[in-house]
Amino acid sequence: MNLHTVPNWLTFGRILSLPVIILLASFPGRGFGIAAAVVFSIAAITDILDGYIARRTGQVSDFGKLVDPIADKIIVAAAFIMLVDLGRAPAWIIALIISREFAVSGLRAYAGTRNIVIAARISGKIKTTFQILAIICLLVNFSLWGFPFKEAGWILLVVAFITTMWSGYEYFRDYGVLLKAAVSEGEE
């Protein structure tokens, strides 16, 4: 297996950007918040690029399929935790969002052991988009160029919370339907 591919390096880069984001966000001052948001934004863009490049160049690998979603969850969870530490996001919302991520990942892994594949849902992409946008706005956390990042961040965080919980419900519902179908097939 060749780990030295552009998609894998983009995934590694996303993981390695995390300490930079945390360091920048931990310093007071608007410039540091903007810099943290820019680095986080670049990391989020690499998530789109690595999958696109992997499919386009035939470099899709089992390693990438495993590590890419883990990298996404690590960077989003760590950024959310940093926002709680900075007092920019309520701990209960972040705890439930992160718990949903663990629960769905665990469910999909368990389903895989039973040869049940729970396909990715569009609601998962939507919740990720709102999570990323909320994090970017809350890292900036002040009005810039006339745009109220702090207020937008709060609104986006609420939308991210709702879409995250809905998406989690859909995955568990899908598992129930697929499990019932698998049991019915086995009885025939």
- Evaluated on CA atoms 148, 154, 155, 161, the torsion sign reads positive
Residue 156's pLDDT band, with cuts at 50, 70 and 90, is very high
Q: pLDDT (tens digit, 9 = 90+) per residue, 23-73?
A: 999 998 899 999 999 999 999 999 888 888 888 988 888 777 788 888 899
Residue 187's pLDDT band, with cuts at 50, 70 and 90, is low
| Residue type at 46 in one-letter notation | T
Angle formed at CA 167 by CA 10 and CA 155, multiple of 5 degrees: 85
In the chain, the domains with their CATH numbers are 6-187 (1.20.120.1760)
Residue 173's pLDDT band, with cuts at 50, 70 and 90, is very high
E strand or H helix that includes residue 171: helix 149-187
Q: Does the pLDDT of residue 96 top 90, yes or no?
A: yes
**Residue among 181, 157, 45, 69 nearest 120 (CA):** 69
Alpha helix stretches (DSSP H) within the chain: 6-26, 30-57, 62-85, 91-113, 122-140, 149-187
Q: What is the mean pLDDT of residues 161-181?
A: 94
- Report percent pLDDT > 70 for the chain: 97
Q: Does the pLDDT of residue 188 top 60, yes or no?
A: no
Rounded Cα gap, residues 133 and 153, in angstroms: 7
